[in-house]
Amino acid sequence: MRQFIQRHQDQMLGVLSGFDRMRFRGTLRLLTSVGGMMGYLSLVAVLSTLENCYSYNTHHNRSAQQVQLRRRPRKCLHYYFYFVDHTFGLTQVRLQTWFPFNVHVVLNGREWLARQLDAVGIGYRRRDNCFVDLEDFARAQRLADRQPRIAWPKHLERLLNRVHPLHRELFAQCPGPYYWTIEQSEWATDVAFRSAEALGDLYAALIHHGIETFQSPDVMRFLGHKVPAHGGVNGHFAGQVVSDLKHRPEGVRIKHRVGRNTLKMYDKCCSARRRPMCSAAAKRPVSPASWPCCAPTA
């Protein structure tokens, strides 16, 4: 080509080289192998199901001669979105596909904390949802303490926009952001022991104390219910107080429950040969007056 141009350049006005037709191919390298595809399917999914909800239907009011709306239990399609968020890790968003388009966002604080630890280079070991060893417990606690103070509406709207980009378009004529409330919350304390034997010797006594000593008024008082000074149960209380002890795959679990609020403790110690580090975990519902961690014996 160069020789041709040089030979005939006296007869040419100029030469222009550049792209003509172009065709691009995009490849998700993660999905080009069986292993990558299996990994993708195990973490990310969208599921749909018909579930109960509160929605609206029309009602003809004969006396007023009007068609009115009624809010009542109905059924509609719900979408469950599962994805890995860069901040919170594995995240679930449940979207109601009919009015009033309620949404639920489910996060896990321990999954989130693991992301925080990775970002600052703090080593750890996890067993399911429990940290059985941490390189620096004090620094990890400071990271966990920051979680309640983030800009929650901003992050929740970001997660919602990822799965429901049409929200702003649907409500363009009457814009209004979602009003976020926390429907369920759980506060957990992980206590890591140096050996399975150290936890095993202590845990049996804790379980025995928890199931034999605590009575219904004790559980109610701890979970925020008013208890008369004489120690009985308030006469207006119409619910149940349940305490039970079970052997579960995670370990031996004791649980006290009042209504939908629970307090539970379990060990995650299998055997000294399999796991040199063992832990006990205590969980309870969170209220504004009880942000500090609770002790496993509470």
Residue 271, both tokens: 């055997």
Examine residue 126 and state whether it is found in any structural domain, yes or no: no
Q: Answer whether 79's CB lies under 8 Å from 47's CB.
A: yes
Q: What is the pLDDT of residue 192?
A: 86
Residues 99 and 38 in one domain: yes
Q: Where are the alpha helices (DSSP H) in 52-173?
A: 109-120, 137-146, 152-163, 167-170
In-domain check, residue 242 = yes
Count the domains in the chain: 2
252 located within any domain = yes
220 falls within a domain: yes
73, 58 contact by CB (below 8 A): no
Asked whether residue 155 falls in the same domain as residue 55, the answer is yes
Q: What is the pTM of this model?
A: 0.75
The answer to the question of residue 130 being in a domain is: no
Residue 192 and residue 134 in contact, taking contact as beta carbons nearer than 8 Å: yes
Task: Give the tens place of pLDDT for each residue, 63-80.
Answer: 888 888 888 999 999 999
Residues spanned by the domain of 76: 31-107+151-170
**Intervals of the chain under pLDDT 50:** 270-277, 286-298
Asked whether residue 278 falls in the same domain as residue 191, the answer is yes
Q: Is the residue at 41 inside a domain?
A: yes
Q: How many residues does the chain have?
A: 298
Q: What's the pLDDT tens digit per position in 192-239?
A: 888 888 888 888 988 999 999 998 889 998 998 888 887 677 778 888
